[in-house]
Amino acid sequence: MGEREAIIKDLDGEYESLYGVLMSLSDADKTCPMLDGWSVKDILAHIAAWLREGTKALESLARGEQGTAESLDDDVDARNARFVAQWCDASVQEVQTDLHLAKSAFARAMRALPEERFAEGQEARRLVYGEGIDHFSEHGKQIWKWKAREKVGRAVPPGMPREAIG
C-alpha cells in the first residue's frame, strides 16, 4: 500500500470513529448545544464545509496551482460561523448526508493526486490531516466527552460490541 492509500485508510478510520458516536445519538441529541453554543449538527456542518474547502484545495494542487484552504480568508471564526449558518434550517439527516458526500469527494480528490504529493512535508498531506483526519479526531473526541458528561444517547451504537468503545 502506498502512502496516499495509507493516509486514505487513516481518513476512513477517523471518519468511522466519528460516525460511531453519531450512531449512539438521536437526532434530538444532535441538535442540543454542546460546544460554545454549537450542536453536533453544527459541528458536522462545519466539518463538511472544511472538507469541501479541502477538496477545492486538493483539486487546485492537481492543476498545479497553490492549494491552501486557509489562504481564502484570514478570519476563520467568521468563516466557521458562515459555514454553520448555511445549514441552520437543514435537518440532521441532510447535514449528515452532506458530510458523507463531502468526505467522499475529498477522498476522490486525494486519489487524483500523484503518490509523491502525500510525502512528509507536502501540501496535500498537510491539507488531508488538517481538513480531514485531525478534524474528525478533534471533533469526535469533543462529542464523545460531551456525550459522557451530559449522559446523552445510547451507551454504544447499535450493533457495536460494548468492548469496542473501551
152 neighbors 25 (Cβ within 8 angstroms): yes
- State the cell numbers at 147: 456525550
53 neighbors 61 (Cβ within 8 angstroms): no
163 neighbors 40 (Cβ within 8 angstroms): no
Torsion of CA 134, 136, 139, 145, to 10 degrees: -100
Q: What is the pLDDT of residues 91-145, one digit of tens each?
A: 999 999 999 999 999 999 999 999 999 999 999 999 999 999 999 999 999 999 9
Q: pTM of the entire structure?
A: 0.88
- State the cell numbers at 53: 474547502
The CATH number, out of the four listed (3.40.50.720, 3.90.79.10, 1.20.120.450, 3.60.20.10), of the domain defined by the range 3-165: 1.20.120.450
Burial track 22-48 (b if 16+ CB lie within 10 A, e otherwise): bebbeeebbeeebeeebbbbbbbbbbb
Domain boundaries, the chain: 3-165
Q: What is the pLDDT of residues 18-37, one digit of tens each?
A: 999 999 999 999 999 998 89
Cell 500523484: give the residue. Answer: 114
